[in-house]
């Protein structure tokens, strides 16, 4: 932002003659100067300046305290203290207060100009960095949008190919008139309808990723839901993989959509199964925890309080750090294209966030993966 602005400096000094002389010097060097003789005047104009030269003694005011206040009003302001009362203690006081630099009266004009030059160099570098970070953020957003668009196009193209192919064959069968085979036509219609239903299900998953799916929440005993999911999952897990369930003896209550919760948990369990390539263990644990303010498990819109915690853990292949960082991105998958859409984890994450909770992934290559689903908990029924 500073590259395109004229360099603007605020002088705060209760000595009118000194302030005027200093302003003239800086204007001759190409600076745009604003002068204030007290704290009130400085506060009025600080929003329009980049650097402030503040006298450490302003009559009855403390220049260091004023500099701190100006910094709060304009966080990117760089302040240079100017004083005729030079001492180590004064310098330490100013620097500890976050002042950028310090010059003593009388000073050489070249020294002051060099200090101001460093201030504006710092602003320029900060502006360049902010611009680079914004470009990086835009690039990442475009990359995510591109990946999402490609994934949607790929999945729905496959479904439309099935629907279109079956309708074309059905058309050919109908053109045969009385010779057309009703059984073949029924099979073609069934295949096309199946692809349409898959498209509807994929659309629901996309809505879940975007946290726009319609939920039907109600009070649930999570222990019962977890047991039902484990019973369903046992039929899809080989005998070489142990499936363990740990749940508290008392009810664990939360408000959530039962269908979406079951679908999310089943997806987590089956992901854990897939990570255990041969023999191994998948553990599902349920408990409650009290999360205090500032907990690393919180996101910005999550209040402190009681949460239900469902952990799905495996001792399978795990994921490298760079892979785990992308695991919640839509259509990102380490599985073959025919084995998954890459929407399972993002769907579970979207459900958790839409329900007021969070989903976290901890993984280490060669060690295993731990996925934690947090949902706001209710106190047990009396």
pTM score, two decimals? 0.49
Q: Is residue 90 part of a domain?
A: yes
Contact 274, 335 (CB under 8 A): yes
Given a cut of 50, is residue 3 above it in pLDDT? no
Query: Same domain for 99 and 174?
Result: no
Q: Domain range holding 158?
A: 147-209
Query: Same domain for 230 and 363?
Result: yes
Query: Same domain for 48 and 177?
Result: no
Question: Of 186, 209, 232, which residue is a domain's last?
Answer: 209
For residue 200, what are the CA distances in angstroms to 58, 156, 230? 71, 10, 26
Domain count within the chain: 3
| CATH number of 329's domain | 3.30.565.10
Query: Same domain for 195 and 240?
Result: no
pLDDT digits (tens, 9 = 90+) for 118-133: 888 888 888 778 777 7
Q: Which residues contact 120 (CB under 8 A, 6 or more apart)?
A: 2, 7, 50, 51
pLDDT digits (tens, 9 = 90+) for 306-318: 999 999 999 888 8
Q: Is residue 313 part of a domain?
A: yes
Query: Same domain for 200 and 222?
Result: no
Q: Is residue 324 part of a domain?
A: yes
Query: Same domain for 73 and 175?
Result: no
Contacts 24+ apart (CB under 8 A), 82-85: 82/13, 82/53, 82/54, 82/55, 82/56, 82/107, 83/55, 83/56, 83/57, 85/56, 85/57
Question: Of 192, 209, 226, which residue is a domain's last?
Answer: 209
| CATH number of 41's domain | 3.40.50.2300
Q: Identify any residues that bridge with 284 across adjacent strands, giving them in sequence order.
A: 245, 312
What average pLDDT score do residues 230-242 get?
83
pLDDT digits (tens, 9 = 90+) for 244-297: 999 888 889 998 888 888 888 888 888 888 888 777 889 999 998 888 877 777
The region that residue 48 occupies, defined by phi over 0 for left and psi between -120 and 50 for alpha, beta otherwise, is alpha
Q: Is residue 133 part of a domain?
A: no
In SS3 terms, 342-365 reads as: CCHHHHHHHHHHHCCCEEEEEEEC
């Amino acid at each position: 932002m500073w590259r395109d602005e004229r360099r603007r400096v605020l002088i705060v000094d209760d000595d009118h003659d000194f302030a005027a002389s200093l302003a003239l010097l800086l204007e001759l060097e190409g600076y745009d100067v604003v002068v204030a003789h007290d704290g009130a005047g400085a506060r009025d104009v600080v929003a329009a300046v980049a650097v402030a030269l503040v006298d450490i003694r302003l009559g009855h005011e403390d220049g260091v305290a004023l500099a701190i206040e100006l910094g709060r009003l304009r966080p990117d302001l760089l302040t240079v203290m100017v004083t005729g009362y030079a001492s180590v203690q004064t310098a330490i006081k100013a620097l500890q207060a976050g002042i950028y630099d310090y010059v003593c009266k009388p000073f050489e004009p070249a020294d002051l100009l060099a200090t101001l030059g460093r201030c504006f160099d710092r602003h320029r570098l900060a502006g360049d960095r902010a611009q680079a970070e914004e470009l990086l953020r835009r690039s990442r957003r475009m990359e995510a949008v591109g990946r999402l668009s490609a994934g949607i196009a790929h999945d729905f193209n496959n479904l439309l190919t099935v629907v279109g192919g079956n309708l074309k064959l059905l058309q050919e069968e109908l053109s045969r008139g009385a010779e057309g085979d009703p059984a073949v036509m029924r099979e073609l219609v069934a295949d096309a309808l199946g692809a349409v239903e898959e498209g509807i299900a994929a659309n629901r998953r996309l809505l879940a990723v975007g946290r726009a799916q319609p939920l039907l929440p109600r009070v649930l005993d999570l222990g019962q839901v977890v047991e039902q999911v484990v019973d369903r999952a046992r039929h899809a897990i080989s005998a070489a993989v142990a499936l363990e369930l740990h749940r508290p003896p008392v009810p664990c209550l939360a408000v959530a959509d039962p269908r979406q919760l079951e679908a999310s948990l089943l997806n987590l369990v089956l992901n854990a199964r897939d990570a255990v390539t041969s023999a191994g263990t998948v553990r599902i644990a349920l408990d409650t925890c009290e999360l205090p303010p500032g907990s690393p498990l919180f996101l910005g819109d999550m209040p402190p309080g009681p949460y239900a915690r469902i952990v799905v853990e495996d001792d399978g292949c795990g994921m490298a750090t760079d892979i785990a960082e992308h695991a919640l991105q839509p259509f990102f998958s380490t599985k073959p294209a025919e084995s998954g859409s890459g929407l399972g984890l993002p769907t579970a994450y979207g459900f958790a966030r839409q329900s007021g909770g969070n989903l976290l992934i901890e993984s280490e290559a060669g060690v295993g993966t731990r996925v934690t689903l947090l949902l706001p908990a209710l106190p047990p029924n009396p």
